[in-house]
Chains A and B, each alone.
Chain A
Amino acid sequence: MASAGNREYKSGLIRWIEYRMPVFSLLDGVIGRDYPTPKNLNYWWNLGSILGLALVIQIATGIFLAMHYIPTADGAFDSVQNIMRNVNNGWLLRYVHANAASLFFVAVYIHIFRAFYYGSYKAPRELLWFLGVFIFVIMMAAAFTGYVLPWGQMSFWAATVITNLFSVIPLVGDEVTMWLWGGFSVGSPTVQRFFSLHYLLPFVLAAIIVLHIWALHVHGSSNPLGINVKGPQDTIAFHPYYTAKDAVGFGVFLLLLAFIVFYEPNYLNHPDNFNPANPLVTPPNIVPEWYFLPFYAILRSMPDKTLGVILFVGSIVVLFLVPFLDTSRVRSAKFRPVFRQFFWIFVADAILLGFVGANPPEGTWVVIGRLATAYYFAHFFLILPLVGWLERPKPLPDSIAQPVLGDSAPEVAE
């Protein structure tokens, strides 16, 4: 939907470059003055660019941390202490990297739930959605490998628990697990290879994000009303409108990051990770970082390990099926009052699963965990299709411009 490069650039230098490599008209067509965007996007649409900022922050801090980090079982914990105590501003690099990872997940969850609420995954944006889920999976792998690197107690035991899951694969499970470990248990070969993968994955992520943005630009962004763009009266140029709005989003994100980094940098961290990894001592309660807690709860909901792994994997795979499970012909929950209730119930269920994951699987938490897991899958396999069929949505406005301009909006043929 980008307009042809008819733009005249005033600067001689820009014209010189443009003639030889039309990067400026490309940028203008992709995120600039020639990329039309629905004019009614709300602040929930800022999360995409915020995620891009978070990735840049992680790569920048990560590259400089990697100059001082030692990726071996003997050196890792001490090298992190060296970064915290001796490297100039090392504590700042480390705290930003660790906490921006958490905010990365806050942003991705808001981004995903925005898509759920407004039906952004519906045709013709199903492939965009698949790429997004794939990005989420790579993010989880990057975060998981990253958390192992400090080689604290939680790093070691989380690595042990998650790599042990692969042993449920029939026939080759044990071999695959040993292949992942590089040994007979989590050890130095494991952290060494996790460091290599952790450095690689953000760049894989960047490549998939390029595809994600390409898929987005074919049909353009969806919007809070969920109705298609009908003409130029419904859109405005991305620059300067959404560049300015995204800048405000960046400011808010950086404020949140700064507050956590400078005043509560260890709030989201587990104290046991300040004890060096000890293969002979199991912590009383092994828990992953907060953003994995709901999936951890689903994993532990079944007493049978294999079933738990199937549900765990299933809870992510089901995300790929959402465009097909949701049968509603209306995109946005704004016009789906029944679905809207179920959306909020699902959010509550996800948060509840998080609490289940944080607590040891004992007593009432076991029952709550199983009910919450059952509801999680029920939301996708029962509620999405049924509510889509049975609900009578509210009438949609004619166009994006119409609710704003009222009857003075230009008549558009359907």
Chain B
Amino acid sequence: MAATDQSSDHDEDVNRRDFLYVAAGVASAVGAAFAAWPLVNSMNPAANVLALATTEVDLSPIAVGQSVTVVWRGKPVFVRHRTQDEIDQALADDKTDLPDWEADADRAPRSEWLIVIGICTHLGCIPLGQKTSERRGDFGGWFCPCHGSHYDTAARIRKGPAPRNLELPGYSYLDDTTVRIG
């Protein structure tokens, strides 16, 4: 079985053979990637977990001045129906020097409703201030008892070790009395 090919034929054979090998190799690699993806994707949140990704809150029973805590994605969310005084104070404070400046209008598009994640941005405790009997700190908003952070009526950090304002979850108003968080 001595090879007596002409050199040009041999070259052509090599090229065709290489193409075949490359094609098979690439196809196998693509197949392996397509097979690996479902394994990796199975670790992403499952459908029943994703179904709990949003929480709808009925705002109608929340009286003016009342603050309600709802659970969203396992975290507490403060929903406060602000009084006119609280709104005015927040707007006035827009002009002061704030550690993490943000306009009140950006934090509360509908000024009577303030919706923030109730986790202190310092080390993660849940600030006090939801109940009227609780301490609300020096600025009328919330007070974190762990290390003494004070938040104002727009839940902005004013005093204390926390670096940032209480976070805003994404939310949208479905109608006048219902908001969907997340």
Which residues of A approach B to under 8 Å, CB–CB?
A: 60-61, 64, 67-68, 82, 85-90, 92-93, 247
Contact = CB atoms under 8 A, between A and B. Distances in A.
A89 B42 contact: yes
Interface in B16-47: 24, 28, 38-39, 41-44, 46-47
A349 B82 CA distance: 83
B175 to A, nearest CB: 30
Contacts of B7: none
Contacts of A60: 39
Contacts of A82: 46, 48
A85 B50 CA distance: 13
A87 B39 contact: no
A88 B46 CA distance: 6
28 contacts: A60-B39, A61-B39, A64-B39, A64-B43, A67-B42, A67-B43, A68-B42, A82-B46, A82-B48, A86-B46, A86-B47, A86-B48, A86-B49, A87-B42, A87-B46, A88-B44, A88-B46, A88-B47, A89-B38, A89-B41, A89-B42, A90-B42, A92-B38, A93-B38, A93-B39, A93-B42, A247-B24, A247-B28
Interface in B116-136: none
Which 3 residue pairs across A and B have the least CB separation, nearest first? A89-B38, A86-B46, A86-B48
Contacts of B48: 82, 85-86
Interface string B33-77: 000001101111011110000000000000000000000000000
A369 to B, nearest CB: 42
Q: Is the interface of A mostly helix, strand, loop or mixed?
A: helix
Contacts of B46: 68, 82, 86-88, 90
Identify which of B39, B47, B49 gathers the most chain A CB atoms within 10 Å of its CB. B39
A180 to B, nearest CB: 32
B41 to A, nearest CB: 5
Nearest to B48: A86
Contacts of B38: 88-89, 92-93
B18 to A, nearest CB: 13
Contacts of A92: 38
A82 B28 CA distance: 32
Nearest to A65: B42
A92 B46 CA distance: 14
Nearest to B51: A86
A34 to B, nearest CB: 20
A64 B42 CA distance: 7
Nearest to B43: A67
Nearest to B50: A86
Given A64-B43, A86-B46, A93-B42, 6 more contacts: A67-B42, A82-B46, A87-B42, A87-B46, A90-B46, A92-B38
